[in-house]
């Protein structure tokens, strides 16, 4: 029997899922071999991670707090991918959203039931404002959003460091290099997990429904897969591009709002914990699917929480980052291999 290897334009969902599971398993096995070679006991470490993460309510709450921003930053990147735009600036938009929400919470005298919606809107608008220039540059001058969104990340980080250590520094001195504690906060949903978690899930479902079941979503998908065909069919590619990129920035900004109002309660440098960059990994794990972001964020949240636990067991942060990188590396290989299949050569009968 003879045949050849053929690459398909898309992978069967079942094959893609099995490839993803096999890739993650291989990455963990590789990490286990490396740890064993360095004198660690992988099985003991795995048992400790499982026990600390899933064996207590405290562990599950920690995962929930990590998953909430990861859902939104992953969704932010995934939305952009639907129209072929790589939003590498979710980190900066996260900071911009946190900055705008903090400004509203600190300086608008109003009760919580007014401040929380205002902070939510401010967070979204902050993220939109931070992606506006890259959006217009891409839409009207064809400037790569990869560069512009990435560079604006550093500006946003420095802006937050500046205001949290200068003009907005806690006047009472209760904390160093942060603002005062915000007068409003998101109510608890389950233990330490605030209502940002179900709202993030709801927003993901709404965005996924909009992309899958509306004319706008259909045109966005067509525009992302073939911009020339979309233009030929009369679809407003530029308008869709602008709207999708602004939506992407708004979602990342809302993630920043949830983090500062629901989890940290103060604006400070380093508030994002690299959630914006990790959102890129979540979107890759989700294969650009809005609903797939939920699973990708859950996996990434578990990995991050496991990393914290492993550090308590004596492993350094570099080892944890290496394990995370292995998972992404093997996942990328698995995704690519899932597009190939073996095709038998047909022989003509005589």
Closest CA to 329 of 15, 26, 8: 26
Predicted local confidence at residue 327, as pLDDT: 79
Within-domain flag for 151:
yes
Q: Which pLDDT tens digit goes with each residue over 112-163?
A: 999 999 999 999 999 999 999 999 999 999 999 999 999 999 999 999 999 9
Within-domain flag for 195:
yes
Within-domain flag for 57:
no
What's the token pair of residue 163?
Answer: 């205001």
Within-domain flag for 333:
no
Give the C-alpha separation, 74 to 135, whole Å: 19
Predicted local confidence at residue 348, as pLDDT: 46
pLDDT band at 2 (very low <50, low <70, confident <90, very high): low
Within-domain flag for 212:
no
Q: Which pLDDT tens digit goes with each residue over 173-218?
A: 777 889 999 999 999 999 999 999 999 999 999 999 999 999 999 9
- The residue range of the domain holding 196 is 64-205+232-283
Within-domain flag for 187:
yes
Number of domains in the chain: 1
Q: Where are the alpha helices (DSSP H) in the chain?
A: 13-37, 42-54, 57-81, 90-107, 112-141, 145-165, 196-213, 215-225, 227-232, 237-258, 275-285, 292-312, 317-337
Closest CA to 248 of 326, 349, 132: 132
Task: Give the predicted TM-score (pTM) of the model.
Answer: 0.90
Strand 193-194 versus strand 188-190 pairing type: antiparallel
pLDDT band at 349 (very low <50, low <70, confident <90, very high): very low
Predicted local confidence at residue 157, as pLDDT: 96
Within-domain flag for 9:
no
Q: Which pLDDT tens digit goes with each residue over 9-53?
A: 777 778 878 888 888 889 888 888 888 887 778 888 888 888 888
Within-domain flag for 247:
yes
Q: Which pLDDT tens digit goes with each residue over 247-276?
A: 999 999 999 999 999 999 999 999 998 999
pLDDT band at 347 (very low <50, low <70, confident <90, very high): low
């Amino acid at each position: 029997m003879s045949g050849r290897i053929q690459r398909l334009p898309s992978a069967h969902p079942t094959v893609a899922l099995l490839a993803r599971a096999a890739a993650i398993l291989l990455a963990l096995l590789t990490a286990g071999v490396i740890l064993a070679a360095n004198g660690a006991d992988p099985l003991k470490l795995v048992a400790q991670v499982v026990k600390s993460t899933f064996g207590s309510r405290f562990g599950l709450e920690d995962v929930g707090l990590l998953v909430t921003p990861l859902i939104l930053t992953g969704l932010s990147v995934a939305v952009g991918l639907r129209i072929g735009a790589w939003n590498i600036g979710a980190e900066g938009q996260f900071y911009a959203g946190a900055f705008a929400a903090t400004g509203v919470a600190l300086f608008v005298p109003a009760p919580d039931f007014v401040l929380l919606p205002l902070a939510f809107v401010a967070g979204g608008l902050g993220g939109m404002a931070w992606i506006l220039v890259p959006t217009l540059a891409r839409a009207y001058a064809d400037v790569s959003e990869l560069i512009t969104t990435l560079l604006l990340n550093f500006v946003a980080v420095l802006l937050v460091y500046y205001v949290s250590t200068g003009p907005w520094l806690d006047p009472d001195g209760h904390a160093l290099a942060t603002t005062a504690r915000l007068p409003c906060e998101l109510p608890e949903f389950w233990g330490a997990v605030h209502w940002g978690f179900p709202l993030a899930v709801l927003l993901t479902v709404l965005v996924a429904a909009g992309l899958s079941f509306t004319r706008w979503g259909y045109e966005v998908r067509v525009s992302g897969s073939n911009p020339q065909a979309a233009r030929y069919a009369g679809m407003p590619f530029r308008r869709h591009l602008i709207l999708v990129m602004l939506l992407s920035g708004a979602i990342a900004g809302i993630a920043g709002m949830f983090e500062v109002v629901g989890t940290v309660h103060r604006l400070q440098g380093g508030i994002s914990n690299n959630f914006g960059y990790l959102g890129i990994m979540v979107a890759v794990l989700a294969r650009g699917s809005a609903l797939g972001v939920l699973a990708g964020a859950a996996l990434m949240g578990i990995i991050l929480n496991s990393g914290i636990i492993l550090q308590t067991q004596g492993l350094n942060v570099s080892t944890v980052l290496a394990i995370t990188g292995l998972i992404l590396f093997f996942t990328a290989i698995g995704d690519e291999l899932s597009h190939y299949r073996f095709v038998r050569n047909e022989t003509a009968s005589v």
